Amino acid sequence: MDTFASVLQQIKSPADLKQLSDAQLLDLCGELRAYLVSHVTETGGHLASNLGVVELSVAIHQVFDSPKDHLIWDVGHQCYVHKLLTGRQSQFDTIRTPGGLSGFPKRTESDHDAFGAGHSSTSISAALGFAEADRLSGNDAFTVAVVGDGAFTGGLIHEALNNINKDLPFVIILNENEMSISPIRGRFSDHLAKIRHSPRYHKTKKATRRFIRRIPLIGEATFRGIRRVKQSAKNFLYNSNYFEDMGLYYLGPIDGNDFVTVRDMLKEARSERQATILHIKTVKGKGYGPAETSPNEYHGILPGNKPAAYNFSAEVGRLLCERAKQDKTVCAITAAMAEGCGITDFAARYPDRFFDVGIAEEHALVFAAGLAAGGMRPVFTVYSTFLQRGYDNLIHDIALQDLPVTVCIDRAALASGDGPTHHGIFDVAFLGQIPGIPLWAPADFESLSRALTDSLDSGHPACIRYPNAKPLDEALFPYGEYPFRRNFPDGIQLDALIVTYGRIAEEALAAAVQLKSEGITCGVLLCEQLLPISAPADALAKLVGNTDTPILVLEEGIKTGGLGMMLREALHDRAMPNRLEIAAIEDPFAASEKGRKLIATMGIDRTAVAAKVRKLLES
């Protein structure tokens, strides 16, 4: 690995870049690209997006002065080169591992990470906050936001643009690579294409700027007047663009993989000391043939570049295609995550009933509500962590109006690689507060099929949650009937009972085996319907009757407001005397510990579960 790091090894901080010649900087870009390919194909992570921003990252750090100047990345997964240039080379092999570097900017990790960004479209709002804070405190720092064109499909970006003070030293770099994770769709993407294919516009812009700058400035008012005249003339002759209509100074588009051009345009943007858009065009996966050819496949890769296993996401896509073949009202919606949510085949087979709304989860849910009110049966597939953004819309637009929208909640579990920004551990707690939305947690594909069928047939809102994992073996829970299955037969005398759901059920079973070796008979109840809470509460009441069998609720979700707390209240209302304890996540933002599985850090692995059962029995 060190064979291609002759320049890279010299870089201990961004200040070192300022001592390099152009030739050395170009060599550095090549070394960084080789380094990324060598490391990320082994460790896993986001490869294609980082290969595309090598030249940009080097140029930013040569022109600006981090950490005095604030650098914000959106989405944050394109920050790997930034990390390598800011003193974290020696730790890079630990990226996305327990106790290692985060795959996103993280404020507690480095002073050079100005703002954490695991979700999309937050950058301009945050950057504007930095810029205004500097103005108020008299700090002359710049704020630079690197924004992928996928992020520009999120409404939050445009709310922030509408609020920008154009006199702030604020640079927005629009990184257009024509890909977010799924191909970009929408009016904004179409507008970028129009700008990109208008060379006459840009020639006129440069000539006009040169002419105006030769006129001696007679005060700020005169300068602004000239700018207004220029804008009016340009609008008349060539039309304006979106950013200039908002009063922002616009540069580009330029080749974002041409280091010298990018560096020179960043210097130009810096010299303006005003809110400036620099529009660059990069190649996602640049310099690595497989990633250039298939950027989707190399957006996020597994360690060793192993192929992903067939999982719940893929099965949801297959089931939706089957249902859509018979039911013309079934529609599929995604927020720029068709590939991750397994519905690319649906998009190909039923393009008129497939909607990719861009990175706009709030809009997706209200749009789904409108489709449902219009007689369709929409299914919104979304990661658990991103569904959090649409909480208001679930309440106000779907539940309150009892509209038949089905939400398929993907990645509903801890996210070991991506970390706290992507943990899918809040959905059970926040959905439990919304009346009228049942929640299913299928553990295998047969249960998934039943849950999806029941949801679409119900004529009401429904949610189905599942992890990024293979299904549990049906044979592990041979007793009982869907949606409440168990690993023990009728009539057995239990010393304790573990109630659980989702993939963490494997840890419950392992704990039960461990306890059995100690002479403790511990059964496991698998709940595949979590809400309304009366369903699991009634199943539990029927199972344990009026005995005092102690119960441990194990969940890969937050403790506060989770299934355990809801069950405790429901059992109390039924006057059941059982002692009930909860093994759940009490610190959802806890840092993972080096050398430990994340579930162990969170206190919900088999060892912790067995210990809690023993404690229950001793009390």
Which tokens hold the place of 379?
């299914």
Strands 249-255 and 276-281 turn out to be: parallel
User: Locate tokens 């516009």: which residue?
Assistant: 201
- Annotated catalytic, 33? no
Instruction: Return d(Cα 303, Cα 105) in angstroms, integer.
Output: 20
The one-character DSSP state at 295 is T
* ∠ CA 154-158-160, rounded to 5°: 115
Q: Classify residue 607 by its DSSP letter.
A: H
d(CA 412, CA 556): 9
Tell me the C-alpha distance between 366 and 442, whole Å: 26
Burial class (CB in 10 A: 0-12, 13-18, 19+), 67: middle
Asked whether the beta carbons of 361 and 119 are under 8 A apart, the reply is no
Q: How many C-beta atoms surround the C-beta of residue 26 within 10 A?
A: 16
Q: Quick one: which H or E segment has residue 28?
A: helix 22-43
Q: Tokens 């030293």 appear where?
A: 169
Whether residue 303 has a cis bond before it, omega within 30° of 0: no
Catalytic residue (choose from 281, 284, 377, 411): 284
Q: Which of 31, 55, 339, 361 is catalytic?
A: 361
Burial string for 445-474 (b: 16+ CB within 10 Å, else e) reads bebbbebbebbbeeebbbbbbbbbbebbee
Angle value at C-alpha 124, between 118 and 130, nearest 5 degrees: 100
CB count in 10 Å sphere of residue 323: 19
Known active-site residue 389: yes
Q: Is 135 a catalytic site residue?
A: no
Residue 277's H or E segment, with its range, is strand 276-281
How many whole angstroms separate alpha carbon 339 and alpha carbon 313? 9
Alpha-carbon distance of 530 to 462, in angstroms, equals: 12
The candidate with the shortest Cα–Cα distance to 149, out of 119, 110, 189, 90, is 189
**Gap between the Cα atoms of 345 and 339, Å rounded:** 9
- Active-site residue, selected from the candidate residues 33, 83, 323, 389: 389
Paired strand residues for 566: none
Please state whether beta strands 484-486 and 479-481 pair in parallel, antiparallel, or not at all (unpaired). antiparallel
CA 442 to CA 289: how far, in whole Å?
A: 39
Q: Which residues are catalytic?
A: 284, 361, 389
